[in-house]
Amino acid sequence: MKLTQMLFVTMRDDPSDAEVRSHALMVRAGFLHKLASGIYVYGPMMWRVLRKIETIVREEHDREGCQELLMPAVQPRELWEESGRWDRYVSEGILFHFKDRKGSEVCLGPTHEEVVTSYVRRLVQSHKQLPVILYQIQTKFRDEIRPRFGLMRGREFIMKDAYSFDVSKEAMQVSYGKLREIYRRIFTRCGLNFTPVEADSGAIGGSGSEEFMVDADTGEDAIAVCRETGYAANIERAASRVSDPPKPAEKVAIHKEPTPGATSCDDLKKLFPDLPLTRMIKTVLYNVEDGGDQAPVAVLCRGDRAINEIKLLNHLSTLAVTLADEDTVRKATGAEPGYAGPIGLQEGVRLIADRSIEGVDGFLCGGNETGTHYLDVWFGRDLEQPETVDLSLVAEGDSTVDGKGKIEITRGIEVGHIFQLGTKYSEAMGATFEAEDQKTRPMWMGCYGIGVSRVAASAVEQNHDDNGMIWPVPIAPYTVHIVQMSVGDETQDALASKLHDDLEGRGVDVLWDDRKKVRPGAKFKDADLVGIPLRVVVGRDAADGKVEWSTRAGSERSVVTVLEVIANIEQAIAAAG
């Protein structure tokens, strides 16, 4: 491809809304054009990258017998009522939905469990037709609360979504394992460094799930990893071993202490310097949203721990939990915020506790009275210990649950997510089949997503320098960049043209910078920005039939013959897989 035949415009300055390098560089290189918040035009170079990722995705799914189809983006509300997800998606605000001219409500698909289940329930009658794994590559719509980072979190983006249907739990797990391997191969082929982690299942539902996280400091997800044991989990889901409670305190009677103005553990630490955080119990009030009126929930945890709101949400199986506002706190405690405690909460406030409170005795907690805390409180004597569940947010330095290693918190970008759904959708929507014993049973499902456009952004986030992007060979918009120094010089023209045609003839994607009026310095700047991985400079050495060879990532350059450069290129392509 000759550059003079392309719409090729690069920009010197970062766009003002770019918070991460991948976003800034893609916009500057003309790969992306913002139309509205989280909605982009994919330019011709970007589209080449996306198509290469899609090809890898297709090859790996097809190889394992998954079948591609295409489902509609417009989906009727009734289907989402069948699965029971309409209200949750509407209340989260994520769903783009509207009425058609007849007044029927429809949405633009954020995901396709409902559609695929309604399709398969029609077509599959017998166990003999299973297993089935279907997938599509399609534009998804999510009205994200914070669209940002360019393609990382768009409101319209490209996803590959796959769905498996099986006769039993065991068979579902086989399909899940198959997809897990497909995902590993896809991300490896895309040239990404990634970590599979245990994940929360969120609004999609179901039991087991794993996410594929691209290692990146700018990633939106926090991950708990342990180098000693290999444990890796999204912080939303991660568990750790809470250190033992302090030795029991001397058993003195419960009493009130005046603590005016001390509304946090830090304040209390100053007032009671000898009392460790592990002997304080925090009481945090949450509002629960499930469509109807609900009393607030008070959650207890040890002073040195924090509450994981995702675990809380899952435990309460509700639509949303949010920190209670000050008025709610006043009503629930009868005191100003900062003095909530488990003793003497108002009627109807539900009390639950994180496991970290187990074994804590002789502790300090809020007095439900402004400016007052209780001291020397004992479970069993002064109040019943509430039921405990794991609601703890894992922290750096925690021990793993098995006690064999320490947890580190790192960051990552979620590029893929695989779920064992079980029979949640098939039961709700009547997707059944006749089993071998002639009984009618619901199908066992799995669902599997890859953010195709997010993969492209992650690849740049992981591979760039101060001058621009550095594309991994398998997903680069072009593989080879020919930079011709002096266009119009007959020797250079002839050599560049021959090299270009020769490489194209071998099926190599080549971009040839054949611009006449652009200085070499500007050409190199553009080449660095666009980040095509292999580079051939056609300049003065053309008179000797030689060119300069380098890679975008490396600093070495060598002057070689045309035959040698072709060999180098073929070798680099083979090495990249």
Which residues of the shown chain bind Mg ion in the complex (CB under 5 A)? 417
The interface mask with ligand ATP, positions 165-204, x = CB under 6 A, is -------------------------------------x--
Q: Which is nearer to Mg ion, 191 or 206 (CB)?
A: 206
Question: Per CB under 6 A, which of residues 520..539 are in contact with ligand ATP?
Answer: none
Q: Which does 509 bind (CB under 5 to 8 A by kind): ligand ATP, Mg ion, none?
A: none
Structure tokens at 88: 């949750």
Cβ of residue 157: shortest distance to Mg ion, in angstroms? 13
Q: Is 453 in the site for ligand ATP (CB under 6 A)?
A: yes
In 423-505, DSSP assigns E strands to: 432-434, 440-442, 444-451, 464-465, 468-469, 480-484
- Comparing CB distances to ligand ATP, the nearer of 376 and 414 is 414
Residue 384 burial (C-beta neighbours within 10 Å; 0-12, 13-18, 19+): exposed
Q: How far is the CB of 234 from Mg ion (least distance, A)?
A: 9
Is 362 a binding residue for ligand ATP by CB under 6 A? The answer is no
154, 109 contact by CB (below 8 A): no
Q: Which helix (H) or strand (E) holds 498?
A: helix 490-505
Determine, following the binding rule CB under 6 A, whether residue 368 of this chain makes contact with ligand ATP. Answer: no
Q: How far is the CB of 53 from Mg ion (least distance, A)?
A: 18
Q: Say whether residue 157 binds ligand ATP (CB under 6 A).
A: yes
Instruction: State the nearest-atom distance from the C-beta of 174 to Mg ion, in Å.
Output: 22
Binding to ligand ATP (CB under 6 A) within 408-437 occurs at 414-417
Query: Which of 27, 159, 242, 542 touches ligand ATP (CB under 6 A)?
Result: 159
Contact string (CB under 6 A) for ligand ATP, positions 118-147, x = contact: ------------------------x-x---
Nearest by Cα to 212 from 42, 476, 452, 24 = 452
- Which entry of ligand ATP, Mg ion, none binds 23, CB below 5 to 8 A by partner kind? none
The Cα–Cα gap between 117 and 13 comes to: 47
Select 52 or 417, whichever has its Cβ closest to Mg ion.
417
Pairing of β 372-377 and β 255-258: antiparallel
Of residues 154, 191, 341, 442, which one binds ligand ATP by CB under 6 A? 154
- The amino acid at residue 7 is L
Cβ at position 37, least distance to ligand ATP in Å: 12
Say how far apart CA 211 and CA 233 lie, in whole Å. 9
By the rule CB under 6 A, 85 interacts with ligand ATP: no
- Mark the segment that binds ligand ATP (CB under 6 A) among 59-67, 276-284, 450-458, 564-572: 450-458
Q: Which is nearer to Mg ion, 376 or 414 (CB)?
A: 414
Q: Is the peptide bond before 276 cis (omega within 30 degrees of 0)?
A: no
Q: Residue for token digits 């991460």?
A: 20
Residue 221 token pair: 């997800």
- Identified binder of ligand ATP from the candidate list 22, 75, 83, 111, rule CB under 6 A: 111
Report, in Å, the least distance between residue 39 CB and ligand ATP. Answer: 11
Q: Quick one: which of 152, 158, 154, 214 has its CA closest to 183? A: 214
For residues 199, 204, 208, 209, the Cα torsion angle rounded to the nearest 10 degrees is -40
Q: Which stretch binds ligand ATP (CB under 6 A): 163-171, 224-232, 358-366, 445-453?
A: 445-453
Helix (H, G, I), strand (E, B) or coil at 285: strand
Q: Which residues pair with 565 in a beta bridge?
A: none
Count of residues engaged in binding ligand ATP, rule: CB under 6 A:
16
Residue 515 CA to residue 495 CA, distance in Å, equals 15
- Residue 490's alpha-carbon distances to 204, 496, 511, 521, 523, in angstroms, are 62, 10, 19, 21, 19
Q: Are 398 and 241 spatial neighbours (Cβ–Cβ below 8 Å)? A: yes
Give the nearest residue (CB) to Mg ion: 417
Contact set with ligand ATP (CB under 6 A): 111, 142, 144, 153-154, 157, 159, 202, 414-417, 449, 451, 453-454
